[in-house]
């Protein structure tokens, strides 16, 4: 089986990131993973990318964290890094975006201030998969006037290693009731985080591209990792 974490951060893209792209790749390779999606906070959120740059330069700088990780992955046998993004649409409310391409981001600077429903539509029209990140996480910084549920998303994290059991359980109930795609992510910011290894998905076939990752998620061809144990989708629901 192959393990992938679908939610990780680096200090090259996220202001809150602790470890470099190279350190994150090494930590996950050591933990037995076959790959990670780098989902740094997007350039309109908690980003290291200066807002003073012009849009395409900001995209280049944002992509460089993924590119450094992809380069570092070459040091390890069969380790794949995928590009992703975590986009905040309100305080404490975020989506994970899989499958976005650089050219698409270059061409859509309106993403920065888009309405979340218009953004979902644009992303989906361009082949991306949209997943609610930790939808029921409750923190003091949350804007509680915004609903946890995001009907335009394709799925939601039913396990996030920094959530409480009850927060994850609420997400699981929500995904089950609405037949959404269930995912799992570590939301790891630090290569020394002991939560590395608890989250992600497990597949029988190796995933080699973002397109393949999206197909696997859409088809339900995976097991979900939660607290380091793997569950079939039948066991989850
Ligand atoms: Zn963060
Ligand atoms: Zn995150």
Place 236 in a pLDDT band, splitting at 50, 70 and 90: confident
Please report the pLDDT score of residue 52 as a whole number: 96
Radius of gyration of the chain (CA): 16
Cα 221 to ligand 2 centroid, rounded to whole Å: 24
The separation between CA 41 and the C-alpha centre of its own chain, rounded to angstroms, equals 10
The per-residue pLDDT for 16 is 97
Q: By percentage, how much of the chain surpasses pLDDT 70? A: 100
CA of 55 to the centre of ligand 1 (A): 22
Strands 223-226 and 200-203: antiparallel
pLDDT for residue 214 is more than 90: yes
- Residue-level pLDDT at 156: 98
- Residue owning tokens 């359980």: 169
Q: How far is the CA of 56 from the centre of ligand 1 (A)?
A: 23
Assess contact for 154 and 97: CB atoms under 8 A: no
**Encoded tokens for 43:** 């350039």
Confidence of residue 85 (pLDDT cuts 50, 70, 90): very high
Q: Rounded to 5, what percent of the chain is helix, strand, coil?
A: 30, 25, 45
CA angle 180, 148, 40 (to 5 degrees): 80
What the chain holds in terms of domains, given with CATH numbers, is 2-236 (3.20.20.140)
Q: Average pLDDT for residues 183-195, to the nearest whole number? A: 98
Give CA–CA dist 58/44, Å, rounded.
Answer: 10
**Ligand 2 centroid from CA 107, angstroms:** 25
Tell me the CA–centroid distance for residue 12 and ligand 2, in Å.
14
Task: Please give the DSSP secondary-structure letter assigned to residue 209.
Answer: S
**What percentage of the chain has pLDDT greater than the value 90?**
98
């Amino acid at each position: 089986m192959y393990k992938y974490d679908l939610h990780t951060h680096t200090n090259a893209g996220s202001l809150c990131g602790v470890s470099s792209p190279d350190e994150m790749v090494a930590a996950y390779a050591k933990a037995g993973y076959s790959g990670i999606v780098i989902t740094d906070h997007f350039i309109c959120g908690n980003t290291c990318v200066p807002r003073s740059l012009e849009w395409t330069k900001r995209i280049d700088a944002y992509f460089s964290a993924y590119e450094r990780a992809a380069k570092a992955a070459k040091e390890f046998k069969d380790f794949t890094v995928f590009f992703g993004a975590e986009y905040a649409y309100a305080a404490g409310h975020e989506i994970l975006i899989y499958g976005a391409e650089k050219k698409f981001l270059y061409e859509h600077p309106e993403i920065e201030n888009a309405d979340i429903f218009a953004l979902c539509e644009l992303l989906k029209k361009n082949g991306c998969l949209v997943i609610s990140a930790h939808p029921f996480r409750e923190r003091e910084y949350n804007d509680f006037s915004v609903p946890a549920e995001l009907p335009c998303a394709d799925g939601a994290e039913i396990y996030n290693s920094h959530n409480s059991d009850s927060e994850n359980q609420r997400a699981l109930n929500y995904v089950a009731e609405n037949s959404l795609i269930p995912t799992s992510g570590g939301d790891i910011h630090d290569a020394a985080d002991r939560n590395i290894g608890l989250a992600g998905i497990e597949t029988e076939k190796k995933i080699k591209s973002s397109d393949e990752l999206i197909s696997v998620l859409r088809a339900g061809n995976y097991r979900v990792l939660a607290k380091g144990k793997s569950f079939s989708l039948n066991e989850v629901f």
